[in-house]
Structure 1
Amino acid sequence: MIVRLLAATAVGSLAGLGVFSLTQVTSRILFVVTGGAVGAVLVLAVRWYRRLAQLTEVKVAIPQLSELTFAVNNDSRQVAWRMFVETVTRVSTQPLVGDEGVVREALTSMYGLFATARETLKAARPSAPVPGGQTVEYLAITMLNRELRPFLSQWHPRLREFERAHPESPETDWPDNAACRAELQRVQHAIHDYAIGFARLAGVREPETLVRYVPPPRSSPGRPEGSTTGTAGTTGTAGNGPAAR
């Protein structure tokens, strides 16, 4: 980008000198500065136009968010693809059947998903704003703050406290083991829906064939069907667990 800007400035400066030679105006420096500014403005305008010209609308239906219209371009498709890969290749998105698997491993993987997704968003270029259209950043941040952050803030400290108090005890002895697994299944089901959304934004055909389906959970102990952990839809910090760091 900087190289192109400097090149455009140089071209504009030369154009200014050419105009000066043709018109025989005595203010040589004025024409150099004016030509350079015009060249820089032109390259920025062309770059902005190309970004907007590549935008396409994609409708994504996510049960937690209903149907939304997203405006995506090549840059945002790459971000969506990275988010899709991260969500579907981790242990955190694979259902634990009965007493199989380890909750600690799933929590650690889910925390890794949170950290990686955050770094992916920080490294990406912000999407061009378009009236009436959401961006891939909106979908990713909503997944982090609505699903991952509240879950980790609630269950990571509880499991860590049990592990510190009972270092030799198996995970099945944890009194909250069943409740945590039930809530984990709910979050996995939600992340599955987000993963399909990322796939559609990335342009993946038939993403359902690539993602292992996570069945909807039954009601968690002491919680009504369909409720969520923490404050849904907020973007602030939820709790003091590891995801809040």
Structure 2
Amino acid sequence: MTGADRFGGVLAGGVVRVGLAMVAGAVVGLCGYAISRAGGVLLFTVIGALAGALVAVGLNAYRRSARLTEVKVTVPQVSELTFVVNNDARQVAWQLFIESVTRVSAQRLDNEDGLLRESLTSLHGLFATTRETLKVSRPSTHVSAGLTVECLAVNFLNLELRPFLSRWHPRLSAFEQSAPDSPEEDWPLAAECRDDLRRLQRNARQYVLAFARLAGVRDAEEMLDASAANPVPAPTPSVTRPRDPAGS
């Protein structure tokens, strides 16, 4: 086939498509004209049919967004639980996953790495952000067969973050005030605090994975492990010390 033949075939195909589009447009135009000229029973029948179609589309979209799905997750101190989620709950779980996975709560801090003050400040920020996310989100649909993502998040705050911050924030602040020019290594409780932080991180990792599972995130463990193995270096910021532990 020559180039001219191919060009002719493409042109003919284009003409056919344009012709079909014109016919379809003409049919739609005639239907619209007929409806505009209709009266009595026919007009109300057409309007009712259109209204019914719109209601059906709206109900279908609502059912898809409100449909509940059961998800089983395992979290520290609670064992395996069944949660029920819809699209709104998945969005909340996704926000909590992103907030948690990017903070020190999910990243191991070795004895020679980082500063405890920065870690406590990051955890304090996670507490405040998680609480704010729950405040601005809509409550999950009431269910009798399972728990909600809000329940998981509140357990994370009250069983993990709050006890840790309430214990270590005042102790570290007292040391900083008594020895403002001393490095953290001179704090007698530094090693104990780091041990407790590692325990918190182990438990927090399970909550982060639970948020990921509720949100439908794939390969969440690989994301955590890759982030821990290849941390992105960042400049050390000036640290603002929170006034109250756990934002209370």
- The answer as to 2:95 corresponding to 1:82 is yes
Correspondence for 2:13: none
Please report the RMSD computed on the Cα atoms of aligned residues, expressed in angstroms: 2.6
Correspondence for 2:224: 211
Report the identity percentage. Answer: 58
- The answer as to 2:200 corresponding to 1:187 is yes
Which residue among 207, 210, 215 is the counterpart of 1:197?
Answer: 210
Structure 1, unmatched stretches of 5+, are: 1-41, 216-239
Deviation at 1:52, TM superposition (A): 8.2
Superposed, 1:110-189 pairs within 5 Å as 110-189=123-202
C-alpha change, 1:89 and 1:52, in structure 2 (3 Å) is closer
Deviation at 1:144, TM superposition (A): 0.2
Work out whether residues 136 and 201 of structure 1, in 8 Å CA contact, stay in contact via their aligned partners in 2.
yes
Deviation at 1:125, TM superposition (A): 0.4
The number of aligned residues is: 178
- Give the SS at the match of 1:104: helix
Q: Distance in 1 between matches of 2:96 and 2:160?
A: 15
Correspondence for 2:245: 242
Q: Distance in 2 between matches of 1:94 and 1:111?
A: 15
C-alpha change, 1:161 and 1:51, in structure 2 (3 Å) is farther
- Give the SS at the match of 2:164: helix
Work out whether residues 169 and 245 of structure 2, in 8 Å CA contact, stay in contact via their aligned partners in 1.
yes
Q: Distance in 1 between matches of 2:138 and 2:112?
A: 42
Whose Rg is larger? 2
TM-score (norm 1): 0.67
Amino acid at match of 2:206: D
- Give the SS at the match of 2:83: strand
Work out whether residues 93 and 191 of structure 1, in 8 Å CA contact, stay in contact via their aligned partners in 2.
yes
Structure 2, unmatched stretches of 5+, are: 1-54, 229-242
Q: Which has the higher helix share?
A: 2
Deviation at 1:241, TM superposition (A): 4.5
Runs of 4+ displaced beyond 4 Å: none
Q: Distance in 2 between matches of 1:170 and 1:52?
A: 53
Deviation at 1:168, TM superposition (A): 0.4
Which residue among 76, 80, 95 is the counterpart of 2:108?
Answer: 95
C-alpha change, 1:133 and 1:52, in structure 2 (3 Å) is farther
TM-score (norm 2): 0.66
Superposed, 1:214-225 pairs within 5 Å as none
Deviation at 1:177, TM superposition (A): 0.2
Q: Distance in 1 between matches of 2:226 and 2:124?
A: 21
Work out whether residues 143 and 191 of structure 1, in 8 Å CA contact, stay in contact via their aligned partners in 2.
yes
